[in-house]
Structure 1
Amino acid sequence: MPVALTLVCLWIVCAGVAGLSPSRYHWPAAWVLIATGIPLLGLLTFTMGPVWGLIGLAAGVSILRWPILKAGQRLAGLLAPPQEREHPGE
Structure 2
Amino acid sequence: MSATLALAAGLVWLIAANLIGMLPSRDHHWGNAYRLMAAFVPILIWLAWSNGLLWAAAFVVAAASVLRWPLIYLWRWLRRVRQG
Q: How high is the TM-score relative to the length of structure 2? A: 0.89
The number of aligned residues is 81
1:7-54 residue CA offsets vs partner (Å, 9 max, x unmatched): 011101110111011132511010001010111011101100111011
1:23 partner SS: coil
Q: 1:6-21 to 2 correspondence within 5 Å?
A: 6-21=8-23
- Larger radius of gyration, structure 1 or 2? 1
Moved over 6 A (4+): none
Q: How big is the alpha-carbon RMSD for the aligned residues of Structure 1 and Structure 2?
A: 1.3
Q: What letter is aligned with 2:8?
A: T
1:24 partner SS: coil
What is the aligned partner in structure 2 of residue 84 from structure 1? none
What is the aligned partner in structure 2 of residue 88 from structure 1? none
Q: Which runs of 5+ in 1 are unaligned?
A: 82-90
Structure-2 separation of matches of 1:79 and 1:23: 33
Identity across aligned pairs (percent)? 32
Q: Which runs of 5+ in 2 are unaligned?
A: none
Q: How high is the TM-score relative to the length of structure 1? A: 0.83
Structure possessing the higher relative contact order (Cα contacts under 8 Å, 6 or more residues apart): 2
Shift of 1:74: 0.9
Matched, 1:76 2:79: yes
Question: Given the alignment, which residue of 25, 34, 43 partners 2:46?
Answer: 43
